[in-house]
Amino acid sequence: MSRLTHLDDEGRARMVDVSAKETTLRVARAGASLVCSADTLAAVREGKAPKGSVISTAELAGVMAAKRTSDLIPLCHPLPLTHVEVRIDLDDTLPGFRVIAEARTSGPTGVEMEALTAASVACLTLFDMLKAIDRTMVIGDIRILSKTGGKSGDWTAEQA
């Protein structure tokens, strides 16, 4: 097993030194889902959610969260994000919402945590805005879908 990069030789937590790493374009896509009742999904579709524009608010919350990732996760590097996009689609087969978040930067370290944070906070915002009508919701399937750039190269998750 490889050595954990966030621990020094004495087991103390540290931020990894990325100063010698090559600057490359880095892109990460993350996904998540929120499962809810069919009635909740219908309320959103029909614009009858009690707290208003659920989708656009959650998408904006995800973008804002990506920009704050290093404030939330102790050993993440603060990154100059060049692009963040969060898309939420209604999915009758769940029933619920599918969230896709993409983050980009040019730098020495990846943006996977920013994409994951964006997708997670978008789901949390959906939950917050819909909890008054559905307390049975479940957030899940939070994962990296793909990443590009850096020494490890490109990676795409297998289709589930």
Separation between Cα atoms, residue 29 and residue 156, nearest integer Å: 9
Give the residue numbers annotated as catalytic, written as ranges.
Answer: 128
Non-local CB neighbours of 68 within 8 Å, separated by 6+ positions: 117
Q: How far apart are CA 121 and CA 19, in angstroms?
A: 29
Task: For 66-100, give one letter per residue: b (16+ CB within 10 A) or e.
Answer: bbebbeeeeebbebebeebbbebeeeeebebbbbb
